[in-house]
Structure 1
Amino acid sequence: MQLWVDADACPAVIKDILFRAATRAGLNLTLVANQHLRVPPSPLIRMVQVPPGFDEADKYIAANVQPGDLVVTADIPLAAEIVAKDAHALSPRGALYGKENIRELLDMRNFMDTLRSSGVETGGPAAFSTADRQAFANRLDAVLQRRRR
């Protein structure tokens, strides 16, 4: 299993959890972003800087992910591509995307996008909380535990 992070908008606290988890589990972790990000010195952790542009990080991850890998992303369309490739997708808030829920999540995302583009004020996501961080850490641990079995 390789760990991938759609890192441009990923909260720093989630990246820190992933750095520790990759080191503890001995897994390769790749952060993909449009800008350079600092990562801890480790042979397991690397940063890939993609060219500026819409969805460049998503395209890179989708092109390189393998079945069984885990991708951390809040991007529902990217998560749908990952799930279609028999890999796992996990949101920074701890939601696991899978074949059983990705279609519904993608439909809701598209519906909200249509509302926003027609001028309806939909608001944004709630502020990232300690509960979100804990939910992510717990779900990541569960995914990594299943891998070890």
Structure 2
Amino acid sequence: MTQPTIYIDGDACPVRDETYRVAGRLGLPVVVVGNGSRGVRPPPLPNARIVVVGEGADAADDWIVEHIAAGDVCVTSDIPLASRCLAKSAKAVAPNGRVWDSSNIGGALASREIGRSLREAGIATGGPPPLDKAARSRFLSALDTLVQASLRGR
């Protein structure tokens, strides 16, 4: 089996450095994809690269889905993108360490739509909690677990 590639939904990803650390330790390729609106600095790894896509609501997501393959891992807080990656037999993890899989993605998509409807109706739904040290630790553990499973062919 080929090495998994880690794709980062990059413009607003708060765990790029943690991802680089896992990828560097395991010698895995990393692709950071974004529209360049946040000025992502080049990754500090020889096996990492940045892909800048055009403007558009889903341009980065579409690029990732076009290139991701079974066993690859996507780091994203975007639930629809995670779902699209799972449909291609890839793995997905959120920056807070939540691993997306077939048992939880449907409920997450439904909750997202409910939240969107509430916001459209003018009801404040709050946002995600800030990423603290514990969440970063959960992310590191989850990413390592997913990558190790991909390396073993699961």
TM category (shorter chain) comes to over 0.9
Task: After TM superposition, list the pairs within 5 Å mapping 1:110-125 onto structure 2.
Answer: 110-125=113-128
Task: After TM superposition, list the pairs within 5 Å mapping 1:35-114 onto structure 2.
Answer: 35=36, 36-114=39-117
2:138: which partner in 1?
Answer: 135
Unaligned runs of 5+ residues in structure 2 are none
Question: Which amino acid counterpart does residue 6 of structure 2 have in structure 1?
Answer: L
Unaligned runs of 5+ residues in structure 1 are none
TM value normalised by structure 2? 0.91
Which has the bigger relative contact order, CA under 8 A and spacing at least 6?
A: 2
- Asked if the contact 2:73–2:147 (Cα under 8 Å) also holds between the matched residues in 1, the reply is no
* Structure 1 residue 148: Cα displacement: 3.6
The 2-side partners of 1:38 and 1:17 are apart by 14
SS of the residue 2:84 aligns to: helix
- Structure 1 residue ranges, 4+ long, deviating more than 4 angstroms after superposition: none
TM value normalised by structure 1? 0.93
* Residue-pair matches, total: 147
* Structure 1 residue 43: Cα displacement: 2.8
Name the Cα RMSD after superposition. Answer: 1.2
The 2-side partners of 1:19 and 1:67 are apart by 21
* Structure 1 residue 24: Cα displacement: 1.2
